[in-house]
Amino acid sequence: MKQTQRLDKILAHVGVGTRSELKRLAKEGAIYVNGVKVKDSGMQVNPDKDIITVNGEVVTYREFVYLMMNKPQGVVSATEDNRDRTVVDLLDDEYAPFEVFPVGRLDKDTEGFLLLTNDGKLAHNLLSPRKHVPKTYYAKVEWEVNEADREAFSHGVTLDDGYETLPGDLKILQTGNEVAGIPSEIELTIMEGKFHQVKRMFQAVGKQVIFLKRISMGPLGLDPALGLGQVRELSSDELTALRTANENQN
Ligand code: URA
């Protein structure tokens, strides 16, 4: 990014106001840069160095935001949709100027960890099939998931379109029983993200996923304090972990 930028562009980006509102604020004497009253809201400033205040409050500039969402069922992983509510509709207005998008997709009926950001480069790296970023899912499956399935997944299975998956790591938390009406509970870690991949991997071994939740992505686990539909920003440690894992993954 350039070192200096138009002040009104920076302030609009962090949601202080539109360009015309900022022009008015400057006219009213509400904006200062390094203690000097701003006359021209189009002046050039360096957001990393210059101290900008609006109505006496310091404006913290940042280009990117990184959000962890516990996605609920019933919303689609998109920025816009003609029919359904999207994950972006669940965000507070304060994030609107950043124009975040979901990093990859969870199905409408899948819950759990979804990362949203406007950092296209990080998103691209996380989604790159070459990076093999591990994703872990918790699922309820009808009915008995067993050692043979674990073995099959450990080699990779063939999906309905003939695609051979990479090996997946299956942990059986509870073995289901059809007669008793109890589904299996499992955790599956996969390194890729084909369309409906977890559901189709189980289909490949003749079983059906009835509940699916993503519980981790790369080094980050879903924060248990986040209720369904809730969102929080990643901490700087989490962001560093994500970036580092991403650089080292191949
Ligand atoms: N696999 C699926 O089948 N669905 C998802 O939403 C994510 C992974």
Which residue ranges make up each domain of the chain?
5-58, 66-129+220-248, 134-217
Q: Is domain 5-58 annotated with CATH 3.40.1390.20?
A: no
Determine if ligand 1 sits within 6 Å of the CB of residue 71: no
Predicted pLDDT of residue 2: 64
Question: Burial code of 205-224, b = ≥16 C-beta within 10 A, e = fewer?
Answer: bebebeebbbbbbbbbebee
pLDDT at 248 over 80: no
Q: How confident is the model over 137-156, as a mean pLDDT?
A: 98
Pocket test for ligand 1, best of 106, 170, 194, 205 (most atoms within 8 A of CB): 106
Residues 133 and 111: their CA atoms lie apart, in Å, by 19
Give pLDDT tens digits for 43-83. Answer: 999 988 999 999 999 998 888 999 999 999 999 999 999 99
Q: Give the chain's largest Cα–Cα span.
A: 77
**∠ CA 177-183-185 to the nearest 5 degrees?**
115
From the alpha carbon of 199, which atom of ligand 1 is closest? 3
Per the CB < 8 A criterion, the answer to whether 114 and 106 are in contact is yes
Q: How confident is the model over 103-132, as a mean pLDDT?
A: 94
Give pLDDT tens digits for 11-34. Answer: 998 889 999 999 999 999 999 999
Pairing between β-strand 184-190 and β-strand 208-217 as defined by DSSP bridges: unpaired
Active site residue 40: no
User: CATH classification of 134-217, choosing from 3.30.70.1560, 3.30.565.60, 3.20.20.140, 3.40.50.10470?
Assistant: 3.30.70.1560
Residues 170 and 136: their CA atoms lie apart, in Å, by 10
Fold of 66-129+220-248: Alpha-Beta Plaits (3.30.70)
Length of the chain: 250
Q: Closest Cα to atom 7, ligand 1: which residue? A: 106
Is there a common fold for 66-129+220-248 and 134-217? yes
Percentage, residues of the chain above pLDDT 70: 98
* 4's tokens: 């200096």
